[in-house]
Amino acid sequence: MKSNTAEQKVLLYDPTRCTGCLFCQIACSYQHFKEIGLEKTNLRIIFDEKTGEFEAIYCQHCDEPLCVAACPNEAAVKDEVTGLVRINPIRCIGCKTCTVACPLSAPWFNAERRISMKCDFCDGDPKCAKFCSPQAIRVALRKEAWEFNKNRYSGV
């Protein structure tokens, strides 16, 4: 983590609180597409049958985003002040390179619009976090998310 980005806001997911209700996906889908659905959504909750735990696939708005580095048309852009990474829908050519480059495959291909899409942090008020009853997904500082995930994935 870069020292000057520690205070930026990101999303933080704690699987030990998640119930898998998918209100986050429904809220995301409605916010961006005005649809109550599970398909068109910028984050996904999956269930691991082996461990009986949930896991979330969502954008970390990385310090050094691979989607931005890989995008051949400069459609994926990082705002260095807020730290948010967005895909410009006008510049996106729908090549899916960002999906492949992202270690989590957080950007997804919207077949209707023929472009890639990803979390835009709902302009500072992420609806997934707002409607999560147990606060499994919430807004946190990057330094907090870094510590949490480092502990969570150490040894994985």
Partner 1 sequence: MVKYAFFLGCQIPMRLPNIEVATRKVFEKLNVEAVDLLGYSCCPEPVVSRLVDEETALVISARNLTLAEEMGLDMITLCNGCYETLAEANEVLKHDAEKRSKVNEILRKYDREYEGKIDVKHVIEVLYEDIGLKKIKSLVVKPQKMRVALHYGCHLYREYKSADIMRKPRMMREMVEQTGVQVVDYGLERMCCGYPSMQASEEFSLKERLARKLSKVVSAGADAVVTACPACMIQFELGQVMLRAHGVQFNVPCINLMELLALSFGVPSKELLLEFHRSPVLQLIRRLEG
**Contact assessment for residue 75 and residue 67, using Cβ atoms and an 8 Å cutoff:** no
Whose Cβ is closer to partner 1: residue 25's or residue 42's?
A: 25
Tell whether residue 140 is a contact of partner 1 (CB under 8 A).
no
Tell whether residue 57 is a contact of partner 1 (CB under 8 A).
no
Spatial distance between the Cα atoms of 72 and 77, rounded to a whole number of angstroms? 12
Query: Which of positions 97-136 make contact with partner 1 (CB under 8 A)?
Result: 127, 131, 133-135
Which of 151, 155, 125, 128 is CA-nearest to residue 9? 125
Among the listed residues 19, 73, 88, 149, the single contact to partner 1 using CB under 8 A: 19
**Cβ–Cβ contacts within 10 Å for residue 27, how many?**
21
Tell whether residue 47 is a contact of partner 1 (CB under 8 A).
yes
Q: How many residues bind partner 1 (CB under 8 A)?
A: 23
Angle at 103 between CA 100 and CA 104, to 5 degrees: 95
Residues that bind partner 1 (CB under 8 A): 17-23, 25-27, 29-31, 36-38, 47, 52, 127, 131, 133-135
